[in-house]
């Protein structure tokens, strides 16, 4: 363990995408960095779908493709609106995604985070695992000056603490820097890893080589709750999961693993995972409250990045790229201050927020700030509409001797009955206003 | 699909844990009658750690816990759940995550 009175330029709490991005950025610039991780190895406590967004990582490690553990690059995205027996799909598949430097990859987080952490070590960062940070250390004026851990020994001191502790964020909460999460603002996701031979994955999903497919699903699969399901293809496995807002889950009395199993048994999903061997079952919270649920992200001697800062774009299912980018920008801000010999005060660390505002991170967070409340108050968007779509499609496609004009009026009548024209227009307007 | 009854034990059996014997990281505070929030954890906990005893009180066995934090969030207002991370190196160990 590091000697007790050694002082660091920065301490990073957590070794996920945000923490690794921050630690790498600072260590590479020559800062003395200590990173603390509670798991046995980096990644052992981390959960994600998982999609890696190349752009965010390229800005940190440009040649990551040379040795990062990547599963498949995504060439096809399917969005499925599901009722109990059907799905209405919107698919986009393009040969253009088979490019020299693909844009998105599926990854397995436990392996990927371990690789990312090895880069932090190569850059000169000290990574200490099996160490849980218990609280922040403050001076008499309330400035953060270090951390306490569950290991023996005194406080570990640094000029700045980067909190990349993940969604649960106990360290910041218990130090009074941010509030406890609200059940309305977090989703509980459960996921399983289903292993299949590589050629089976490829034939079932119409794939060649390292190409992959991503399915995002919504509709009656979440049984009236606000949430989504997903299925991602890895090299020799499929990640399948479903998540719903915690308050909905608690109210419904539905068990998360039953919800997952029912999703797996859906006639559109079951054949895709038939005969697979399940090797892991995981659960994780996703901060989905959006911009309005974000805590303060900097102060005297501290910054927050990633899930702990509530940086998730739930609409686009993006999170790890916001985590990496916020971690990188936090690291770059600290390096910039160090070079100018400026202290890590709240006034100076405001630069981190400014850089986030200038990036896609806070621009996207702001853009969708009204969406969480919209979905919360209008669950029909995720339940009624997929069912309606399915009804329309089936009426239209079934050839049964009825005239097409009769079918059209049948469709029109059923839509009016299910939602009404005023309801349709109101939903459309509400959605457009929130989206804008 | 309504008859579905998943054997959660079988799911958790696939996972790796290092249990910190005698030092559970989550505790339920003593209570006579559980709040609706605490009671909801019997179904909402994804590892089925919570159960109701014969007296109607809610108990926890945290060995299968995946450290998601749901119970802490659900019971934040009632204060009935005491939630900490396991000691460094203990708890669930994801092979894939």
A90-148 per-position pLDDT tens digit? 999 999 999 999 999 999 999 999 999 999 999 999 999 999 999 999 999 999 999 99
Determine the distance in angstroms separating the CA of B69 from the nearest CA of chain A, rounded to an integer: 6
Report pLDDT for A37: 98
- Which residue in the set B5, B43, B85 is minimally distant from A132, CB to CB? B85
Average pLDDT over residues A36-53: 97
Chain B hits for A132, Cβ within 8 Å: 85-88
Report pLDDT for A380: 75
Determine the distance in angstroms separating the CA of A149 from the nearest CA of chain B, rounded to an integer: 9
Spatial separation of the C-alpha atoms in residues A296 and A346, rounded to whole Å: 11
Whether residues A191 and A226 share a domain: the answer is yes
Whether residues A161 and A235 share a domain: the answer is no
Taking only residues 151 to 180 of chain A, the set having a beta carbon closer than 8 angstroms to any beta carbon of chain B reads 151, 167-168, 170, 180
Establish if A243 belongs to a structural domain: yes
Say whether pLDDT at B47 is over 90.
yes
Spatial separation of the C-alpha atoms in residues A68 and A307, rounded to whole Å: 22
What mean pLDDT is reported for chain A?
A: 96
Average pLDDT over residues A162-176: 96
Average pLDDT over residues A278-299: 98
Looking at A287, A320, A346, the residue that finishes a domain is: A287
Total structural domains in chain A?
3
Whether residues A151 and A238 share a domain: the answer is no
Establish if A408 belongs to a structural domain: yes
- Which residue in the set B68, B76, B96 is minimally distant from A188, CB to CB? B68
Whether residues A250 and A346 share a domain: the answer is no
CATH value at residue A325:
3.50.50.60
Establish if A77 belongs to a structural domain: no
Whether residues A191 and A240 share a domain: the answer is yes
Q: Which CATH class is domain B23-93?
A: alpha beta
Q: Considering the entire predicted model, what is its pTM?
A: 0.95
Whether residues A44 and A144 share a domain: the answer is yes
Report pLDDT for B3: 45
Q: Max CA-CA distance within chain A?
A: 85
Look at A383 and A257; give whichever has higher pLDDT.
Answer: A257
Report pLDDT for A6: 80
Alpha-carbon dihedral angle through residues A202, A206, A208, A212, given to the nearest 10 degrees: -80
Average pLDDT over residues A290-316: 97
Whether residues A257 and A200 share a domain: the answer is yes
Looking at A287, A306, A338, the residue that finishes a domain is: A287
Say whether pLDDT at A4 is over 60.
no
Cα–Cα distance list, A263 to A56, A171, A224, A318 (Å)? 31, 35, 14, 22
Which residues, including other chains, have CB under 8 Å from residue A239's CB and lie 6 or more apart?
A49, A50, A106, A191, A192, A193, A194, A230, A231, A232
Establish if A367 belongs to a structural domain: no
Whether residues A404 and A302 share a domain: the answer is no
Partner-chain contact A255 B44, CB within 8 Å: yes
Q: Which residues span the domain enclosing A12?
A: 7-70+107-179+295-358
Looking at A228, A256, A287, the residue that finishes a domain is: A287
Partner-chain contact B97 A48, CB within 8 Å: yes
Establish if A308 belongs to a structural domain: yes
Whether residues A270 and A208 share a domain: the answer is yes
Establish if A117 belongs to a structural domain: yes
Say whether pLDDT at A87 is over 90.
yes
Establish if A101 belongs to a structural domain: no
Whether residues A55 and A192 share a domain: the answer is no
CATH value at residue A219:
3.30.9.90
Average pLDDT over residues A232-246: 98
Chain A hits for B85, Cβ within 8 Å: 38, 132, 168, 170
Report pLDDT for B5: 59
Spatial separation of the C-alpha atoms in residues A146 and A158, rounded to whole Å: 5
Whether residues A58 and A142 share a domain: the answer is yes
Nearest residue of B to residue A260, measured between CA atoms: B6
Give percent above pLDDT 70 in chain B.
Answer: 94
Whether residues A114 and A45 share a domain: the answer is yes
Establish if A344 belongs to a structural domain: yes
Q: Which of A183-192, A284-293, A334-343, A415-424 has the lowest mean pLDDT?
A: A415-424
Chain B hits for A192, Cβ within 8 Å: 11
């Amino acid at each position: 363990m590091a000697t007790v009175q050694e002082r660091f330029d920065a301490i990073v709490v957590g070794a996920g995408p945000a923490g690794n991005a921050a630690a790498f950025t600072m260590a590479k610039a020559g800062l003395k960095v200590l990173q603390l991780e509670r798991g046995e190895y980096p990644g052992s406590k981390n959960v994600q779908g998982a999609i890696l967004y190349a752009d965010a990582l390229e800005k940190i490690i440009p040649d990551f493709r040379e040795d990062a553990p990547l599963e498949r690059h995504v060439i096809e995205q399917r969005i499925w609106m599901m009722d109990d027996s059907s799905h209405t799909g919107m698919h986009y598949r393009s040969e253009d995604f088979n490019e020299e430097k693909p844009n998105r990859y599926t990854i397995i987080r436990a392996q990927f985070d371990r690789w990312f952490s090895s880069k932090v070590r190569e850059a000169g960062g000290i990574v200490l695992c099996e160490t849980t940070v218990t609280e922040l250390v403050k001076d008499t004026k309330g400035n953060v000056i270090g951390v306490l851990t569950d290991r023996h020994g005194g406080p570990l001191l640094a000029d700045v603490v980067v909190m990349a502790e993940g969604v649960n964020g106990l360290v910041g909460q218990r130090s009074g820097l941010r509030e406890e999460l609200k059940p309305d603002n977090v989703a509980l996701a459960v996921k399983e890893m289903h292993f299949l031979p590589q050629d089976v994955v490829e034939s079932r999903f119409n794939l060649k080589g390292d190409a992959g497919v991503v399915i995002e699903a919504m509709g009656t699969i979440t049984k009236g709750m606000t949430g989504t399901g997903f299925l991602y293809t890895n090299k020799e496995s499929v990640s399948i999961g479903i998540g719903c807002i915690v308050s909905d889950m608690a109210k419904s009395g539905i068990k998360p693993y039953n919800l997952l199993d029912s999703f797996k048994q859906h006639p559109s999903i079951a054949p895709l995972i038939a005969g697979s061997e399940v090797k892991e079952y995981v659960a994780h919270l996703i901060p989905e409250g959006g911009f309005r649920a974000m805590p303060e992200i900097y102060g005297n001697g501290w910054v927050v990045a990633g899930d702990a800062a509530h940086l998730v774009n739930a609409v686009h299912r993006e999170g790890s790229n916001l985590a990496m980018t916020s971690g990188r920008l936090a690291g770059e801000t600290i390096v910039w201050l160090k070079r100018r010999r400026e202290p890590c005060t709240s006034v100076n660390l405001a630069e981190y927020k400014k850089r986030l505002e200038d990036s896609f991170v806070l621009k996207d967070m702001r853009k969708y700030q009204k969406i969480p409340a919209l979905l919360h108050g209008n669950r029909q968007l995720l339940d009624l509409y997929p069912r309606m779509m399915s009804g329309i499609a089936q009426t239209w496609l079934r050839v049964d001797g009825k005239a097409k004009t009769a079918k059209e009026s049948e469709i029109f009548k059923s839509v009016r009955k299910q939602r009404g024209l005023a309801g349709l227009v109101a939903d459309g307007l509400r959605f457009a206003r929130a989206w804008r | 699909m309504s008859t579905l009854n998943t054997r959660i034990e079988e799911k958790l059996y696939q996972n790796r844990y290092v249990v910190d014997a005698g030092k559970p990281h989550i505790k339920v505070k003593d209570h006579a009658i559980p709040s609706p929030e605490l009671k909801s954890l019997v179904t909402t906990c994804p590892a089925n750690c919570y159960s109701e005893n014969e007296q109607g009180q809610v108990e926890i066995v945290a060995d299968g816990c995946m450290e998601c934090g749901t119970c802490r969030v659900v019971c934040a207002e009632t204060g009935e759940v005491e939630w900490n991370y396991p000691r460094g190196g203990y708890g669930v160990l994801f092979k894939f995550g």
